[in-house]
Structure 1
Amino acid sequence: MILFPFKSMRSGQKEIADAIEKTVKERGKLIIQASTGMGKTAATLYSAVKAARENNLKILFLTAKHTHQNIVYDTLRRINESSSEKIAFAGINGKRSMCLFENSVEPSLFIEFCRAVREQNMCDFYSNTFTKNKDVKPAAIEALSENISDTKSVMEIARSFELCPYELSLLNAKQSTVVVANYSHAFDPSIALGFTIRTGIDPANTILVIDEAHNLPAKILDMTSFSISQRNLEKAYSESNMAGYNDIAVKIDKIIAEIRKVTKENAVDIKGIFNELDLEKIEDIVKFHEKGYNIPAAFMLKNFVDKLLSSKDDDITYVSIDEKGRRINVNSLDPADYAKGVIDSFYSTILMSGTFRPISMFSNLLGLEGHQSLEVNGDAITDNRLMVIDKGVTSKFSSREEQYSKIAANINEIMEKAKYNMIFFFPSYYFMDRIYQFMNEKDRIIKEEQKMEREKKNELMEKLSFSSSVLFAVINGNFSESIGIKNNAVKLIGIIGIPFEPPSVKLKAMQVYYDKKMGDGFEYAQVLPSMIKVMQAAGRGIRSKNDKCAIILMDSRYDTQVFRKYLPDDVITVENNLVDMLQKKGFA
């Protein structure tokens, strides 16, 4: 018998569990909007595992980042400890992150690098796992008898047996009821099919659970887009000539010529240069040059041409320029069709997040039809969270210069009255530095730096756990997502301005596209992505039902209809008495 992993269900958890039970029974789709810290992972896994056992199904539980998997493993262990039936589960990360073979290959080339070293019998870890006939070797069979249910234990056991951790995880997944993996394992076109075959996952007999699913639309766009640098095109040009494929070299040269015409980011039209037969020739060029650890640039060309030939009319092809040089990009603009195809292939799908408002927009982005929705806000979370819009200031560009001192004055007043830890998120490093100039208590302030090393980041987080420090950070930087604030160390989070994406060819194309499709390109292309960042940053302060945190949104635009619908219903608006409000509510 499968039992709930805690003594009792908290407010909202029974609603989630009951809704999932009903959804799986009907082979449907369910979107869950539930506050951070209310225990949606426990309620979801409990109900999904029960349904899987009753219907002889598997569960594929997807997370956006591998660091998010730990809570899933902990919850499954708790379910096993409290239940008479034991659930076999397996964790899998990306192949590159699990690789023990020492290499310095760039991420985009790793899959091809892995294939090359396996086929040339250069990877002992793989050779120790399988025979030449692909049979599992005795050492791997022995390792599978160990407790390797999460990726950390897989890495340890694989290292001790000198086996391939990724392959060991796939073998373990084949004999498990619950498989915990990354978005890419179901939604990356280059990975998904092979992954489901190797793990024995038949989508038609599998419950798909997607955690933090507000990330999914953007992740799918990343996974279905591709780019190649001018430098790699020039290398592929030389490789084509050396391999005797002068016709391919001529076509590459046409693309290089288009790139060289561009002096700033701009759309280009290169469709029609390559055809399907060219892909076979490029594959031959790759094989001609592929020796040992060397992955030719033609491999990148092959992936680029493949994406170019399969691109839709609405996709955008453009040249971008940065400090590394020029790149040509083929970007998808709409994840809906692809997401719908994947989601519809599963027995039932559960999508959950604390950042799913308004649900209708996310369902449109993911092409969901005939789904059920559930919004749950835990009473304890609502009672412990204060969200305030400070409409006396704005970061609007046209008013920015005169607003710097006003915003700084508000932050100074908060810091003067409140001697606990707090975080202020800014839309850019430049904006943060301008505000910092006006600060009175600079000795309390810790500033985020660009491209911080993990050790430095951890050091700053450590300071936030024991001193009355104030972190100045950039939204969408090192600290706005996936940081572990323990023991309610941060009591106030301020979000300064609205973190719109800077103008770009891609952003403009997306806005035009959604104007045609939905009638509101600005909201889909700019407002929604910005508000996802805002709500993720706002959620850093409350990670459990007992945490207490004030969230200050410093920009009058949050009080307009277009932004307010993304916020909780209990948000309060103030104009001149922000600190008075904080004192009244016990936060200053």
Structure 2
Amino acid sequence: MAVGEGHGDKIFYLTAKTITRTVAEQTYGILREGGLHYRTVTLTARDKVCILEERNCNPDACPYAKGHFDRVNDAVYDVITHETAITRDIIVKYAALHNVCPFELSLDISLWCDGIICDYNYVFDPNVRLKRFFADGMSGGYIFLVDEAHNLVDRGRSMYSAAVVKEDFLEARKYVKGIDKGLASALDKCNKDMLEFKRECGDYNVISSVSAFAMHLERAYSMLQKFLDKNRQNPHIDYRERLMEIFLSIRHFLNMHDLLTDKYVIYTEHDSQGQFFVRLFCVDPSDNLNSCIEQGICAVLFSATLLPVRYFKEMLTGKADDMAVYAKSSFDTDMRRIIVGRDVSSRYSRRGDAEYRKIAEYIFAVTDAKRGNYMVFFPSYGFMQSVLKVIYDMTDEGCFPDEFEQSIMCQDSSMNEEGRENFLKAFDNGAGDAVTGFCVMGGIFSEGINLKNEQLIGAVIVGAGLPMVCTEQKLLQEYFDDSGKNGFDYAYVYPGMNKVMQAAGRVIRTEEDRGVIALLDERFLYREYRDIFPREWNNYIAVRKEQAAQTLREFWESV
């Protein structure tokens, strides 16, 4: 309506995951059926839309890149005169027909579209954002619709943080020392700076400034750029791709150094491979994200889990007076039962076979109350495997029937796209065997999937979803404590509860759905956790292990 009445020129529908892009395409399709005349394009990452088996953008290796600019205008005209819903498949079809690069074709088409469906990166990421719309602070009549906006906090931190690795300077110096002594010397100086940082670093070290290092890095960056340009076609430089990776990491570090404010923490540490790095950690991305939003005329950020809303206002725009709307759920709360296990916990101090057995008994109680498909969400793969082992042992002991163990299917940490699809297909089993999917909270199955009706009738959520303790979580806690806020809530409780709410949201997807949610951790009864509950969760029932099965049976009998 806003665009139709002349209040805006383009709508950018921004998503964090591929599946939500599909939902946006379907929504535009419904509106077109109702009479909307609106051209949209879906932008897909270069690697995913490439027609070649292995992407190589060198015109000598790619027939679609060679002569692309001679043919692309005809391709664009052909698409925009024949298509209104320009999806990935449409892009690939016309790119093959006109022998042009599909990714570049989609970008050119975007100039002629009313709506652009794309990843957050194309608006917010300083390295990827669409220069044809946003370069050099350009603004326009753009409306940003940000789907699943709870994801933008971590994505924003990632986009606006940067790191350089000491070992990269040594590697780059090894490549160029016999060819460009000046560049080798500049890289050596950067390495010596890093060596000084390393000598002062224990487990990790927070430092106040890297200005002197950035000056040396700027010189190395400039000389490396000239070296890469000079040797662009040199067949003897077989390490050019690796040098380009190092060059891009240096460039991003310098660009982020230019953005440094008191909302950054600079620290040094060794990574899991033992490599030493210095990192510019954007603990609060609100200024950077808001500067992007202000290049349009308005933004609507939406999610079912923007709670507490005060926290998300602070992290996403930094503006406490931004309008916020809590939309009441259209689903009947009587069609869903929430139980909270008051005698169970996932705390590290409680972990062991006794607690794992209790969790296993809760899971069995939930799935035994009504036969059907369930998902169980764990804090980590390790925790999941520990509970799974106990279930095997308890089945051998006769505590559970064989059918319970046989119904369990586990998410794999190395699942590819086909594996994910097969996992979800198991829930579309009609009158077949019931499935209990063991998954990891915050993973690929805890949001963005849409299992309706009998495909999923319950979720068990083990633990409060708190992130694992690590350097960056500690730094987040310290930063927000120093800012006068509750650092533990900002670093652990809010992100954890968001994962919990997302996982619970898999259960009720339509007005016809019936389902149960079991929250297994006594901490859910603490006030600081209950205060984050959606309003629709206020009818939860606190239970002990022995009460769970009967409580759920009574619910299923009532619906």
Considering only aligned residues, what root-mean-square deviation do their CA atoms show, in Å? 2.8
Tell whether the 8 Å contact from 1:497 to 1:554 is kept in structure 2 after alignment.
Answer: yes
1:254 to 192, 195, 198: 192
- Deviation (angstroms), 1:213: 0.6
- Deviation (angstroms), 1:188: 0.6
Unaligned runs of 5+ in 2: 392-399
- Deviation (angstroms), 1:252: 2.6
Residue 495 and residue 264 in structure 1: after superposition, are their counterparts in 2 closer, same or farther (change >3 A)? farther
Q: Give the whole-Å Cα distance in 1 for the aligned partners of 2:345 and 2:421.
A: 32
Q: Give the whole-Å Cα distance in 1 for the aligned partners of 2:134 and 2:481.
A: 39
Q: Give the whole-Å Cα distance in 2 for the aligned partners of 1:531 and 1:204.
A: 36
Question: Which sits farther off after the overlay, 230-239 or 165-174?
Answer: 230-239
Tell whether the 8 Å contact from 2:72 to 2:98 is kept in structure 1 after alignment.
Answer: no
Q: Give the whole-Å Cα distance in 2 for the aligned partners of 1:103 and 1:265.
A: 40
Residue 489 and residue 531 in structure 1: after superposition, are their counterparts in 2 closer, same or farther (change >3 A)? same
- Figure out how many residues of one structure are paired with residues of the other and give that number: 522
- Partner AA of 1:125 in structure 2: Y
Tell whether the 8 Å contact from 2:183 to 2:220 is kept in structure 1 after alignment.
Answer: no
1:475 corresponding residue in structure 2: 441
Q: Give the whole-Å Cα distance in 2 for the aligned partners of 1:209 and 1:137.
A: 29
2:51 corresponding residue in structure 1: 100
1:421 and 2:373 matched:
yes
- Deviation (angstroms), 1:202: 6.5
Tell whether the 8 Å contact from 1:228 to 1:304 is kept in structure 2 after alignment.
Answer: yes
**Which structure 2 residues correspond to residues 265-304 of structure 1 after superposition, within 5 A?**
265-267=203-205, 269=207, 270-275=210-215, 276-291=218-233, 294-295=240-241, 296=243, 297-304=246-253
- Deviation (angstroms), 1:176: 1.4
1:346 corresponding residue in structure 2: 296
Q: Give the whole-Å Cα distance in 2 for the aligned partners of 1:224 and 1:284.
A: 26
Residue 581 and residue 507 in structure 1: after superposition, are their counterparts in 2 closer, same or farther (change >3 A)? same
**Which structure 2 residues correspond to residues 364-379 of structure 1 after superposition, within 5 A?**
364-366=314-316, 367-379=318-330
SS at match of 1:353: coil
Question: Which sits farther off after the overlay, 202-211 or 58-67?
Answer: 202-211
**Which structure 2 residues correspond to residues 151-300 of structure 1 after superposition, within 5 A?**
151-192=88-129, 194-196=131-133, 203-239=139-175, 241=177, 242-243=179-180, 244-258=182-196, 265-267=203-205, 269=207, 270-275=210-215, 276-291=218-233, 294-295=240-241, 296=243, 297-300=246-249
Residue 264 and residue 123 in structure 1: after superposition, are their counterparts in 2 closer, same or farther (change >3 A)? farther
SS at match of 1:494: strand
Q: Give the whole-Å Cα distance in 2 for the aligned partners of 1:99 and 1:320.
A: 36
Residue 541 and residue 162 in structure 1: after superposition, are their counterparts in 2 closer, same or farther (change >3 A)? farther
TM, length-normalised to structure 1: 0.81
Tell whether the 8 Å contact from 1:225 to 1:330 is kept in structure 2 after alignment.
Answer: yes
Tell whether the 8 Å contact from 2:16 to 2:120 is kept in structure 1 after alignment.
Answer: yes
Tell whether the 8 Å contact from 1:230 to 1:259 is kept in structure 2 after alignment.
Answer: no
Residue 452 and residue 221 in structure 1: after superposition, are their counterparts in 2 closer, same or farther (change >3 A)? same
Question: Which sits farther off after the overlay, 417-426 or 433-442?
Answer: 433-442
2:346 to 389, 395, 399: 395
- Deviation (angstroms), 1:53: 0.9
Listed one character per residue, the Cα deviations across residues 405-427 of structure 1 (whole Å, up to 9, x for unaligned) are 22222222233332211111111
- Deviation (angstroms), 1:530: 0.8
Greater RCO (Cα-Cα under 8 Å, separation 6 or more)? 1
TM, length-normalised to structure 2: 0.85
**Which structure 2 residues correspond to residues 7-46 of structure 1 after superposition, within 5 A?**
none
- Partner AA of 1:424 in structure 2: V
**Which structure 2 residues correspond to residues 95-134 of structure 1 after superposition, within 5 A?**
95-103=46-54, 117=58, 123-131=62-70
- Partner AA of 1:280 in structure 2: S
1:70 and 2:12 matched:
no
SS at match of 1:70: helix
Q: Give the whole-Å Cα distance in 2 for the aligned partners of 1:52 and 1:522.
A: 42
Tell whether the 8 Å contact from 1:428 to 1:474 is kept in structure 2 after alignment.
Answer: yes
Residue 587 and residue 268 in structure 1: after superposition, are their counterparts in 2 closer, same or farther (change >3 A)? farther
Listed one character per residue, the Cα deviations across residues 475-500 of structure 1 (whole Å, up to 9, x for unaligned) are 12342223342444111100011222
Residue 340 and residue 140 in structure 1: after superposition, are their counterparts in 2 closer, same or farther (change >3 A)? closer
1:442 corresponding residue in structure 2: 405
Tell whether the 8 Å contact from 2:452 to 2:508 is kept in structure 1 after alignment.
Answer: no
Q: Give the whole-Å Cα distance in 1 for the aligned partners of 2:260 and 2:123.
A: 20
1:506 corresponding residue in structure 2: 472
2:520 to 519, 533, 554: 554
2:397 corresponding residue in structure 1: none
Unaligned runs of 5+ in 1: 1-49, 105-112
1:578 corresponding residue in structure 2: 548
2:265 corresponding residue in structure 1: 315
Question: Which sits farther off after the overlay, 378-387 or 88-97?
Answer: 378-387
1:110 corresponding residue in structure 2: none
